[in-house]
Homo-oligomer: A and B are copies of this chain.
Amino acid sequence: MNLSEKKREIIEKIGVFHEMKGFQPVVGRIMGLLMVAEPAEATFEEIQEELQVSKGAVSTALTVLQAKERVEYRTKPGERKRYFKLRIRDWKNDLKKEFDEVLNMESLINEIIELKENKESDFCCSLLEMKEFFMFMKNELPLLLKRFEATRK
């Protein structure tokens, strides 16, 4: 493999980025590695050597990544090694999931509003405004995605 210093830095950066999203450190680093690797795949052994972590850690992380549908593998004829790669072509679906998650906050906000005895308070007015914003976004985000796709034809 033998990556450049620059690539190693970016792996760390991508790693931290994914840690912020709740992934374990090794999981994030693997995503980073598969981002900068060229071609964009790596074997179990290459991952282990490049990231300097134990077999167990690599195995666990790859299991997580496959369960979350972020990584898949192919094999080559006559070889038993697996070549792991990011399912990056699914990025639009992942994004839709993220949108949904954020927008599910609307139902949480609703629960809070329902509990409030005084719905006229400043606080409650802000909550209502937030709720309306999320309803608005729920509508608009899919339209935005469609418009983006239209620009790509």
Please give the residue numbers on chain A whose beta carbons come within 8 Å of chain B beta carbons, in ascending order: 4, 6-7, 10, 13-14, 17, 20, 22, 35-36, 38-40, 85-86, 88-89, 91-92, 95, 105, 108, 111-112, 115-118, 121-123, 126-127, 129-130, 132-133, 136-137, 140, 144, 147-148, 151-152
- Report the minimal beta-carbon distance from A3 to chain B, rounded to whole angstroms: 10
Flag if A38 contacts B116 (CB, 8 Å): yes
Q: A88-B127, A111-B10, A127-B88 are in contact. Are A38 and B117 (CB under 8 A)?
A: yes
User: In whole angstroms, what is the CA distance A127 to B40 when docked?
Assistant: 11
Number of copies of this chain in the oligomer? 2
Asked if B22 contacts A123 (CB within 8 A), the reply is no
Task: Identify 19 residue pairs between A and B in the complex whose beta-carbon atoms are under 8 Å apart, listed by A's number.
Answer: A7-B115, A10-B108, A10-B111, A13-B108, A20-B22, A22-B22, A36-B112, A36-B115, A38-B118, A39-B118, A39-B121, A40-B121, A89-B126, A91-B126, A91-B129, A91-B130, A132-B152, A136-B151, A137-B144
For A86, list chain B residues within 8 Å (CB).
123
The A interface, classified by DSSP as helix, strand, loop or mixed, is helix
Q: List the B side residues contacting A136 at CB < 8 Å.
A: 148, 151
A91-B130, A126-B88, A130-B91 are known contacts. Are A144 and B152 too (CB-CB below 8 A)?
no
